[in-house]
Every structure is written in structure tokens, then in C-alpha cells.
Amino acid sequence: MTARNIDPVTFEVIQNGLDSLVDEMAITIMRTAYSGIVKDALDYSTALCDRNGRVIAQGLTIIMHLGSFPSIVNSIIRQYEGRIYPGDVFIANDPYESGGIHLPDVFIIKPIFVNGELEAYAGTVAHQADIGGLVSGSNATESVEIYQEGLRIPTLKLYERGEANKTLFAMIKINVRVPEMVLGDMRSQIAANAIGERSYLELSRRYGAELIRNFSDELLDYSERLARQEISELPDGEYEWESYIDADNTPEGPVKICVKLTIKGDEIDVDMTGSTPQVRAGINSPLPFTEAAIYGAIRLIMDPGIPNAAGYQRPIHIHVPEATVVNPVHPAPCAARGITGFRTMDAVMGALAQAVPDRVPADGEGGNTNITVGGYHEDHTAFAFVDLFAGGRGGRPTGDGPDGVPHPAANIACTPVEIAEADHPILIEAYGLIQDTGGPGKFRGSLGHVRQIRNLAGRATLQIRSDKRKFPPYGLHGGGPGSRSQNILNPGPDEVLLRTMVQVEIECGDVLRHEMSSGGGWGDPLERDPALVARDVLDEKVSIPHAAGAYGVVVNPDTLEVDEAETVALRNEIRSQRD
């Protein structure tokens, strides 16, 4: 049987079976993981690769994790050819030897054998609560080389023929601050891979290994054909955009991300020449992470029905110069590389907005803020509170930016307050939306969020990775920018404004107030439906003065209804001032 004669019904059944397989793996991790960053914040991903290391199914998890699965699996194939056996389980996290994306993201891969033949790889990656290094949580922005960032794991066997590598488990345990959480999460990944293997074997028994192999080849070709069709309908041309990271922890800051996007026929070329050279701070983005951000941004304007298989990437050609923040070389640090991946996706979206303005939203909060409080309990055991605070999208061509929805690059949830407080010596004193912060537009950006955290432990280290202060989220097509982020230590008369990226020592009772950026607006604010403005006033998202100043809408303070005559007059006055 050849790949081309699989009937459409069988093709659809197998595809859905594989999609269900990787989602079942994801649910397994969520239900069995130990750390809050995995089970509550959902910072993990699952995938299935074919025998050649090509992704054929991806869980509904994090876009920017998924770009590394091929590089990790290919490192296994390259280093262990002829020595891969049933029962093997591989582990890796190193960006420079194994294709990883930063040290906290640990990949665990299980080869799948059918009738003695290697047919596929079940893969998981999870952000570990700690992997050693300068700070608890291992997301250091102040590191100047990767050796300061934690335990580097090359491509190794965690299990061989079903037997655990006790030496490697012991090595991991002694190098991390919270070994119970780390090893618990790793075992969760191992269990998820076993679930993936079981489901793949069930499909193989039903349809035969040869048909599944042929299906994989056809699925890749099918996703490529659909992607090429989508690209061919885009307007040919060259589109450029620059995005910036404040990078106020480096002398090189701000850091620039350059994108030149060329659409020609059914292919897209992406060139990042001109981006800032790599820096001596932990924000450099390894190439697989950068590539995943580019693929993910372009994927967002495609038909969501296109299979999440690597074939859709074939018409997209990427050039990223070496020794830059988007393609560093050893020993550049990369612990907090997420911010650069987010900004890469933002830059590609900015370029795409010029080509297809009716498909691309305004800029959002810039990706999650990472807040870590780490220290030791009275009994000298370590704790690491890692909070991925996210949730601000830009206004869209069809509606307002949704509140509480994270950046599209990372399907991450904010840690629930009650769970965070139960698991760690912290108190979350405030968590909510900030009035009047959404970027004004025909469609408003989402509001900024606030998270205020009090340290209840003794002396601890506070690590923050945030952005969007000097360069707030951009609006599109006449929409206004979003609000700027703030990091305030001990708010009040003696408050201290911290950098966007900072590592400081704090004492018991110290408070961090983080105000996250909001989403930018889309379209002219004077074209916003006055009824929508009045609804925002009623919901306390917009104040009456802001409604008048930003949207030219006059709301009666007694009835909270729009004064239509006054609104027409005010909008005419604002338009005349523009002219």
C-alpha cells in the first residue's frame, strides 16, 4: 500500500486518533504533575514524531515549545543510531548539544517500537520548578553565561531497556532545589509518554504499522499542500517590522528584533538580519525557539483546520544570523529567553498586519511576566514560587481584546491564588484588572492586570522577567497603544520602582506590585460604538473622564447612558483638532 491510496475516512480517523493521543498525554501531565508551574500554570507540551523525527501531532499546549521536538529527537537519532531499544527513555535540556530551548524545559522522549521496528517517538517537555543555577526557578535574567543557569543535560538515556539510570536520577536530585517537585514532574512526563505509546500501538494493531507509516508521510504532504494554498492567497510583497525588548538589565538595551517577511507565490521567506547581537544576559533565544515563534505567528493567520504537522512549515524559509539574540552561540545564557521568543512572534505579526490587516490583532501584553520568589524554610528546605502572570490581548479586527487570555505563543494560565498561597510562603494581596488601561480603538485592547505578592518567608530572592515599559504594546490602524508595565517594591511613600528585569533580595513582609501591560487598540477610537463605551463604564473598565478623553463619548454620570448629542459634538471637536 502506498501513501496516496489511503481512503479519506481512514485518513481522518487516524489523524483524529493521533490528535487525541497527544491531548491525552497532556491531560495525563496536568493530572499527575507535582509543581504548580506544570499542573496549574500548564507550562508543558506534548508531541508525537514519526520515525524520522518529524512532528505529526501536537498537543493543544504551547506553540513555542513544539519547535524543539524535531531537534531533540534528531539528536537522539544522530547520537544513538543502532543503540535505541524498546524500553528506552531519553532526557535532554541543553540548547547547544541537544537542541533544547533553555535549561528549565526538560524534554523526555520515548521511542515506540512496533513488531521490533522503531516507528515513532512520544515526546513531552515540561518547565521544571527548578534546575539549579543562580536563582530559584532557574529563570535568571542576570546570568552572563549558560554555566550559571543550572544543570545542563545532554541527550542521555534516563531508562535503558526499561531499567532506570539511577546515577542520572541521583545527579538530577542533588542539583535542584526542590527535588521532590522536579522528579515528580519528570515521572509525570514518563507516564504521559507511556500513554502515548499505548495509544499508538492500539492504532498500529488496528490499521497495521505500514499503513500508519504511510499515513504519516501523507499527513506531512497534506499539511504542506494546505499551507501552500493559504500562502498563495496572500498578497506578494516585502513586509518589515521591528520589535523591541526594554532589556534594562543589559548595557546593550534596548534589544531590537528585526523581521523582513517576503511573500512570493506559495512560499514565505523570513529574514531576521539586523537583530541585536547576543547579549551577556539570560534573554538570548536558541534557534529552535525562534523558529517556533516564526512558524507559530504565520500559523495564526492560516486556517485552523490545517493539521498541526511539520509539513505546514515546509513553505516557510527562515534565515536567522548566528551570534544574535535570536540565534546565540555557546556559551550565551538563555534562561529567560521567553521574552525574546514573544517579541519575535510580535514582530512577525506586525509584518503580517501590513499584508493582511483584516486578520491580525494589535499588540498584547508581550507575553507572560515571570515572577519568582525563592528561599528556604526554617528547616532549611528550599521553596520556589514560580508565577507565570499573563493575560492581555490586543484589539482585533472583529472585536475587543479578550481579558485574561495569554499571549498566543504560550497557552499558560495564571496560578490560582488559593493554590499559590497553600503551596508557598506568599500572600497574594491583589489580583485584578486596572481601569482605563486598555489601548483605545474601534476595538479596545484588553485591560492591564495587577498582581501584588507579599513574601511571608525570611530573606528570599525575587527574580522578575517583564517588559513593555519603554516600548508599550502597539495599536494598529489608528488604535492607541496599551499601558506600560510597572514593578513596584513596597508600594507606598517609600516605594521603589524596579527594572523590568531584575534580581533583588527581599525580606519577610516585603511586597511586589506588578502592573502588567494592556493590549493595544485596533482602529480609530472615534469609530467605537458609543454603546460599547457605555457598557465598559458600567463594568468599571473605563471611567467617565476616560470615555470622553479617549473615545469622545459623553456618559451621563447619573444614568450611565450615552448623551448622544454631546457625544457627536465632542467627536467632531476632536476630529477638527486632528485636522
Domain boundaries, the chain: 3-224, 361-528, 530-578
Return the C-alpha cell found at 445.
485592547
Residue-wise pLDDT tens for the chain (579 aa)?
A: 334 578 999 999 999 999 999 999 999 999 999 999 999 999 999 999 999 999 999 998 888 887 789 999 999 999 999 999 999 999 999 999 999 999 999 999 999 999 999 999 999 999 999 999 999 999 999 999 999 999 999 999 999 999 999 999 999 999 999 999 999 999 999 999 999 999 999 999 999 999 999 999 999 999 999 999 999 999 999 999 999 999 999 988 899 999 999 999 999 999 999 999 999 999 999 999 999 999 999 999 999 999 989 999 999 999 999 999 999 999 999 999 999 999 999 999 999 999 999 999 999 999 999 999 999 999 999 999 999 888 889 999 999 999 989 899 888 888 899 999 999 999 999 999 999 999 999 999 999 999 999 999 999 999 999 999 999 999 999 999 999 999 999 999 999 999 999 999 999 999 999 999 999 999 999 999 999 999 999 999 999 999 999 999 999 999 999 999 999 999 999 999 987
Phi (first) and psi of residue 399, to 5 degrees: 175, 175
Burial profile 424-436: b = 16 or more Cβ within 10 angstroms, e = fewer: bbbebeeeebbbb
Contact in structure between 294 and 318 (CB atoms under 8 Å): yes
User: pTM of this prediction?
Assistant: 0.95
Phi (first) and psi of residue 304, to 5 degrees: -65, -15
Which secondary structure element, helix H or strand E, spans residue 496, and what is its range? Answer: strand 496-497
Contact in structure between 486 and 470 (CB atoms under 8 Å): no
Distance CA 226, CA 222 (A): 6
Torsion of the alpha carbons at 77, 79, 83 and 84, rounded to the nearest 10? -40
The two beta strands, 117-127 and 255-264, are unpaired
Per DSSP, the three-state class of 567 is helix
Looking from the CA of 351 toward its CB, the CA atoms found within 13 Å total 29
358: Cβ contacts below 8 Å, ≥ 6 apart: 397
The string of DSSP codes covering 327-339 is B--TT---TTTHH
Contact in structure between 350 and 301 (CB atoms under 8 Å): no
Distance CA 64, CA 49 (A): 16
Phi (first) and psi of residue 545, to 5 degrees: -65, -40
229: Cβ contacts below 8 Å, ≥ 6 apart: 266
| CA angle in degrees (0–180, nearest 5) for 339-345-351 | 135
